[in-house]
Amino acid sequence: MAFTLPQFGIFAQGTDAHHFLEFDLRPGVTPTDAVASFRRLRAPEVSAGGVNIVAGFGAAAWREVAPSEAPASFADFPGLDGMDGLRAPATPHDAWLWISGSAPDNVWDHARAAARAVGDVAELAGRAGGLRVPGRPRYHRLRRRHREPAGSDGAGRGTGAGR
């Protein structure tokens, strides 16, 4: 199965509200069935107030649905081991949706509708919402402003937005 159009939502600008949905396939549902269900999702065709929908699938699904399109090295993300015994576990799911738009309420409504629309093939396993607060600097600007001096314990590394 070849996809003929890119997912334009990846490149959308002015989308301050975001919702991320993770799904696990229901028992007995094949990745081919799931992809067919997710392909039915459509962003509303409006010039203002709409949303963008971007879909993603795990490595196993891609290998079944489009084996010639999946690179041989395509695999689920492993967990990451950090410094001082910190660990970021990988929690791969079968499918993922990113819904973005200009208004949080509109994005929320579309996220709920999307989860219902694919509920016949996939169960919602996780979700996260996010939005950019107007007037607050974005993370990369915060990192530039909050640097520890060279020679301090942080050796000039950024302290991050949360410190």
Q: Measured between alpha carbons, how far is residue 27 from residues 45, 95, 115, 155 in Å?
A: 33, 14, 17, 51
Task: Give pLDDT, residue 77.
Answer: 77
Beta bridge partner(s), residue 147: 158
Task: Give pLDDT, residue 157.
Answer: 37
Task: Give pLDDT, residue 8.
Answer: 64
Per domain, the residue ranges of the chain are 13-75+89-132, 136-163
Q: Give the other-Cβ count within 10 Å of 103's Cβ.
A: 15
Burial of 125 (0-12, 13-18, 19+ CB in 10 A): middle
What pTM does this model have?
0.68
Beta bridge partner(s), residue 52: 100
Residue with tokens 């891609």: 62
Beta bridge partner(s), residue 111: none
Residue 2 has pLDDT above 80, yes or no: no
Task: Give pLDDT, residue 48.
Answer: 67
Query: Per CATH, the architecture of 13-75+89-132 is what?
Result: 2-Layer Sandwich (3.30)
Per-residue model confidence as pLDDT tens digits over 68-114: 888 888 887 788 888 888 888 777 889 999 998 888 888 899 999 99
Q: What would the mean pLDDT of 108-127 be, rounded to a whole number?
A: 94
Residue ranges of alpha helices (H) inside 12-163 are 31-38, 59-65, 104-117, 139-145
| Residue 121's pLDDT band (cuts 50, 70, 90) | very high
Residue 141 has pLDDT above 60, yes or no: no
